[in-house]
Amino acid sequence: LQKVHVLPQTVLYIADAETFSGHEECHEQKKARKRNSKETALALEKLLPKRCQVLGLVTPGIVVTPMGSSSNQPQEIEEGEAGFALLFPKIDGVKIHTFHFSKDVKNRVFDESKFAEAGLKNNPDLRVVLLFGYNSWKTGATRFLHQIVNPLNEKSIILAGGQVESFTSLTSENNHAQPGDACGVVGLAFSGPQIQSATVLLDQDVADERTAEAAMQRLKAANIPEHNTIGFMFACVGRGYRHYKTKRNMEADAFRKFFPNVPLFGFFGHGEIGCDRIVTGNFVLRECNDIKDDLLHGYTTVMTLIHFGSTK
The CATH number given to whatever domain includes residue 175 is 3.30.1330
pLDDT of residue 311: 64
Same domain (yes/no): 205, 302: yes
Last residue of a domain, one of 138, 157, 191: 191
Same domain (yes/no): 185, 202: no
pLDDT of residue 177: 45
pLDDT of residue 22: 59
Range of the domain at 180: 95-191
Residue 23 lies in a domain: no
| Rounded Cα distance, 268 and 272, in Å | 9
Residue 219 lies in a domain: yes
| Rounded Cα distance, 256 and 226, in Å | 12
Same domain (yes/no): 202, 299: yes
Q: DSSP letter string over 178-232?
A: --TT--EEEEEEEE-TT-EEEEEEE-TT--SHHHHHHHHHHHHTT----TTEEEE
Same domain (yes/no): 200, 261: yes
Residue 312 lies in a domain: no
| Rounded Cα distance, 250 and 261, in Å | 18
Same domain (yes/no): 180, 116: yes
Same domain (yes/no): 201, 282: yes
Residue 24 lies in a domain: no
pLDDT of residue 180: 57
Nearest one of 270, 293, 151, 276 to 218, comparing CA atoms: 276
Same domain (yes/no): 210, 302: yes
| Rounded Cα distance, 224 and 229, in Å | 9
Number of domains in the chain: 3
pLDDT in tens, the chain (312 residues): 455 567 899 999 999 888 776 544 444 444 444 556 778 888 888 888 888 999 999 999 999 999 767 778 999 999 878 999 999 999 999 999 999 998 876 777 778 888 988 899 999 999 999 999 998 888 888 888 998 998 888 777 899 999 999 888 887 544 444 455 678 999 999 999 999 999 999 999 998 999 999 999 999 989 999 999 999 999 999 998 888 887 899 999 999 999 999 999 999 999 999 988 875 554 444 444 445 568 888 999 999 999 998 865
Same domain (yes/no): 180, 203: no
Same domain (yes/no): 73, 114: no
Residue 37 lies in a domain: yes
Last residue of a domain, one of 191, 207, 224: 191
Residue 300 lies in a domain: yes
Same domain (yes/no): 213, 297: yes
pLDDT of residue 218: 92
Same domain (yes/no): 205, 227: yes
Residue 298 lies in a domain: yes
CA separation (Å) from 307 to 16, 199, 232, 281, 284?
26, 12, 11, 11, 16
Last residue of a domain, one of 159, 176, 191: 191
Same domain (yes/no): 66, 142: no
pLDDT of residue 109: 76
pLDDT of residue 47: 85
Residue 205 lies in a domain: yes
